[in-house]
Amino acid sequence: MSTHDLYTDSVPSEAWTVPMTGDARFTWEYDDGRDRLLALYQKGKDKQWDSVKRIDWDLEVDPHDVLGVPDQSLAIYGTKYWDMMSEKERGELRQHSTSWQFSQFVHGEQGAMVTAARIVESVPDLDSKFYSATQTMDEARHVELFTRFLHEKVGMVYPINTKLQDLLNETLTDPRWDMPYLGMQVLIEGLALAAFGVIRDITTKPLPKQILAYVMQDEARHVAFGRLALRDYYKQLSQAELREREDFVIEGCYLMRDRIRGREIWTNFGIDPKEVDEMVENSPYMRMFQSLLFSRIVPCVKDIGLWSDRIRRAYDDMGVLDMSKADLDALMHQDEEIAEKVDAERFAAEETARKAEVDTVIAGAAAAG
């Protein structure tokens, strides 16, 4: 089935064309690279995986309860709008909410794939080109698996959020080679990584947990790559150049904050998005969720050297300044461990099931004899 048949609203049939600016850069130095980046490149090669084989696609999914998360995660929970809904309508709302989240994931991952390819082209050093090539493959895999999940398990797709599209456009049209890193590796990937983590940790359903744990194992490397490359480069920039990057980060973070409110969902249910914004502001659960979504971006921005009073004021205004205290390395290590634990638990369960099946066959043969 065509994805266009699953969209909640019509989308253009023609491709979205973003005019590229900036130079493609070649280097003739093939033997001089940063050890940490080359180690990350080696890890990127070692950790490649096949979503067809690693994901257990036979797991059943209820489209009206894809994630099995508390209904408090929905902004209208406990309001007059929630009370007016039938159980069927609440199930449809859960489906729309999950579809919206994972649709933005797949659109963002396509943006990450294109941006990683752009970094291969524009970055001046070979070690970064090497790593970006592995990331391009990672992002292609993520687009593949999120698309399959939406098609086969959710059965509904949302168009790209306009705020995400605006940030992708700004990221890809800037001629400076470091801006795709800043827009994608720090902002878009940072927010996605945090969103993946929140859902991974609260979902009670095995298939989305598998998908998000394995994707996060890749994404942790991607954010580390952006940190390494930008930290070195931003030490060389003037105050005026750093201020331009700070302006981009501040604007991008406000776009991301507005994006995660999912106004398109509520429009489809006839609810004024402005009312939902107020509900989000008054919901302790939703405020906590929004704050957690910046848990990867804020410490990363600080780590790469963009930590002026202006940046801190913006994060204070968003209520996420305390996220600067997060230990990024510890979070990334945890992402690796969780993916390995999901693998171990899954294959241990399969081995137990196989052993039980063999024991049943043996017992049956013995009884027959």
| 157: helix, strand or coil | strand
CA distance 281 to 101: 19
Kindly give, in sequence order, each residue whose CB lies less than 8 Å from that of residue 114, ignoring residues fewer than 6 positions away. Answer: 172
Span 167-223, pLDDT tens digits: 899 999 998 989 988 998 899 888 888 889 999 999 999 999 999 999 999 988 888
> How many CB atoms lie under 10 A from the CB of residue 353?
10
Report the pLDDT averaged over residues 73-99: 93
pLDDT score recorded for residue 147: 97
pLDDT score recorded for residue 321: 93
CA distance 350 to 259: 39
pLDDT score recorded for residue 322: 92
Domain positions in the chain: 3-10+34-337
Confidence class of residue 280 from pLDDT cuts 50, 70 and 90?
A: confident
Domain 3-10+34-337 - what CATH class? Answer: mainly alpha
- pLDDT greater than 70 at residue 139: yes
pLDDT score recorded for residue 225: 85
CA distance 99 to 80: 24
Query: What rounded mean pLDDT belongs to the chain?
Result: 88
Out of 117-126, 153-162, 275-284, the most confident range is 153-162
CA distance 265 to 270: 9
Kindly give, in sequence order, each residue whose CB lies less than 8 Å from that of residue 354, ignoring residues fewer than 6 positions away. Answer: none
Kindly give, in sequence order, each residue whose CB lies less than 8 Å from that of residue 187, ignoring residues fewer than 6 positions away. Answer: 167, 249, 252, 253, 256, 297
pTM of the model: 0.88
Higher pLDDT, 358 or 109: 109
Span 240-259, pLDDT tens digits: 999 999 999 999 898 887 76
Q: What are phi and psi of 86, to 5 degrees?
A: -80, 170
pLDDT score recorded for residue 365: 57
pLDDT score recorded for residue 204: 95
Enter the tokens of residue 24: 């493609």
